[in-house]
């Protein structure tokens, strides 16, 4: 999936913004704002080379949510967000900005089979088939770092 599309639909936007029905004009306006908001996500994904990868399970839903909140509170789409207080808008804007930063930094990995930069890992690993071999591995490790 390339970085050349919007991630949410006008109907998803309407659902999150508690809108009952959409007029044709509202649909066009929302889709335009979603297209603009998708640009933030494209840049974040591009910075990690994550435009051509297969997205991990659940990432489509996450990106749709991010797309909606960017359109609503950062780009200030005039449709549906009026029920949010200024504090709620500020909280959602901060959430969106933090998530975009996590994508850009690689802390939040979107590609299937990858892990984020804060995922715990070891640079080496040894196996043992006996208790004696396990003890020898521990002893060698202790010697290596002493």
Q: What is the reported pLDDT for 55?
A: 86
Calculate mean pLDDT across residues 51-72: 90
- Cα four-point dihedral sign 74, 75, 78, 80: negative
Total-model pTM? 0.74
Mean pLDDT of the chain: 85
Contact 70, 77 (CB under 8 A): no
Question: Is the per-residue pLDDT at 68 higher than 90?
Answer: yes
85-119 residue pLDDT tens: 889 889 999 999 999 999 999 888 888 887 666 55
Calculate mean pLDDT across residues 35-62: 89
Question: Is the per-residue pLDDT at 146 higher than 80?
Answer: no
């Amino acid at each position: 999936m390339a970085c050349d599309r919007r991630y949410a639909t006008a109907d998803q936007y309407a659902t999150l913004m508690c809108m009952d029905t959409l007029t044709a004009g509202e649909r066009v306006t929302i889709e335009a704002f979603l297209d603009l908001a998708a640009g933030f996500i494209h840049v974040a994904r591009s910075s990690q080379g994550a435009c051509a990868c297969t997205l991990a399970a659940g990432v489509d839903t996450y990106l749709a949510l991010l797309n909606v909140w960017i359109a609503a509170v950062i780009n200030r789409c005039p449709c549906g967000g009026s029920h949010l207080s200024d504090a709620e808008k500020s909280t959602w804007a901060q959430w969106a900005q933090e998530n975009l930063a996590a994508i850009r930094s690689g802390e939040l990995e979107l590609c299937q089979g990858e892990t984020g930069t804060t995922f715990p890992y070891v640079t080496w690993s040894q196996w043992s088939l006996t208790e004696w071999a396990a003890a020898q591995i521990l002893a060698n490790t202790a010697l290596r770092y002493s």
